[in-house]
Amino acid sequence: MKLSKSLFLLLLSPMACASVKSTTSFSLDNDGIFGVDQDYTNGIFFAYASPALSSEHQINRLSLADKQGGSIDKWAFSIGHKMWTPSDISQTTPTPNDRPYAGYFHAELNYLSLHPQQAVRYNLTLGTTGENALSEKAQKLVHSITGSTDPNGWEYQVDDYVAGSVGYQRHDLLMRSANLTESNWEMSHIFEANAGNFRTDVASGVMFRYGSDLANTLGAASISTENPFHASMMGNSPYGWFVYTGLSTRYRFNDLTLEGERSGLPEPSDQYDVTMQHWQSTAVAGVALYNRRVGLSFALSAKTPEYKEAPERIYGNGALSLYAFF
């Protein structure tokens, strides 16, 4: 037993702290884990984060360095694709009171500043919806490989738009237990705001985590059904693990995936419009495990409907993230 434990610790032991170095990650969201194909049905993301910036390359107005007496700052860049579908993708004609087909292919630039008491992320996102997002081709290809139902309604998707937003997310530590053992727990508050023609919203939530070295991973997990884990926001941590759960509420002002024009709809097209639900809630539960070279996280998320005519009371999906440090 002692030998096995020694070998395990040797595997995890670092030569250098993991995420002060560059980070690459691949993340996948999908609702297939619940046996459905509806609403937010799939997301795929590739991300890169720079090594920790030297003090002369930090952006003072965005950094926590002066406020907190030191911080780890990084640049991060990601490319992603998100996809939404109605509740029955086998239908060849649009269904009233159901979610529109929509896709979003986008790039995102982030500035990150990390501290054991607080973590912030500023982001600029720019992308496209409609046929330019290539969602129809992507879903049909995947479904032909997996033998899933063919989607038959992409001709009625949200039109081509250049869509973007600016965003801000902040994690504030509320309390953290003393490190009396190898593990501890913490509670944090998460605030998020986004503004743009893609979406505009404000959200507030509380997250609970239990695991090791939590002070150096504040901000890595978020409360979202869309890409809920960001390995780039892990700080000066050599190895560790944690489980987490959280609940948030948001007020959304606009959502292009629901409110965008759909020129492919038959007339009268008003019968296919849906009404956005401004107040929305999200819950998440997940686990993360990493060493100085690689890591993984898995989460299950659930949310209330984003539009008033939604046929379901709760929507959910799973999220997997694989990442490496170099």
Q: Residue 94: which CATH number?
A: 2.40.128.140
* Cα radius of gyration rounded to whole Å, the chain: 21
Residue range 84-98: average pLDDT? 94
The backbone torsions φ and ψ at residue 187, rounded to the nearest 5 degrees and listed phi first, read -130, 135
Tell me if residue 140 falls in helix, strand or coil.
helix
The backbone torsions φ and ψ at residue 144, rounded to the nearest 5 degrees and listed phi first, read -70, -30
4: pLDDT strictly greater than 50: no
pLDDT value of residue 92: 93
Structural domain including 207 reads 2-325
Tokens at 290, concatenated:
């990493």
Residue range 257-274: average pLDDT? 95
E strand or H helix at 29: strand 23-30
Q: How many other β-carbons are positioned within 10 Å of the β-carbon of residue 278?
A: 14
pLDDT one-digit tens code per residue, 132-157: 999 999 999 989 888 889 999 999 99
Instruction: Provide the number of structural domains found in the chain.
Output: 1
Tell me if residue 265 falls in helix, strand or coil.
coil
C-alpha to C-alpha distances, 264 to 44, 104, 153, 157, nearest whole angstrom: 26, 18, 10, 7
pLDDT one-digit tens code per residue, 170-210: 999 999 998 767 899 999 999 999 999 999 999 999 999 99
pLDDT value of residue 11: 37
Of residues 126, 139, 123, 134, the one with CA closest to residue 219: 123
Average pLDDT, the chain: 92
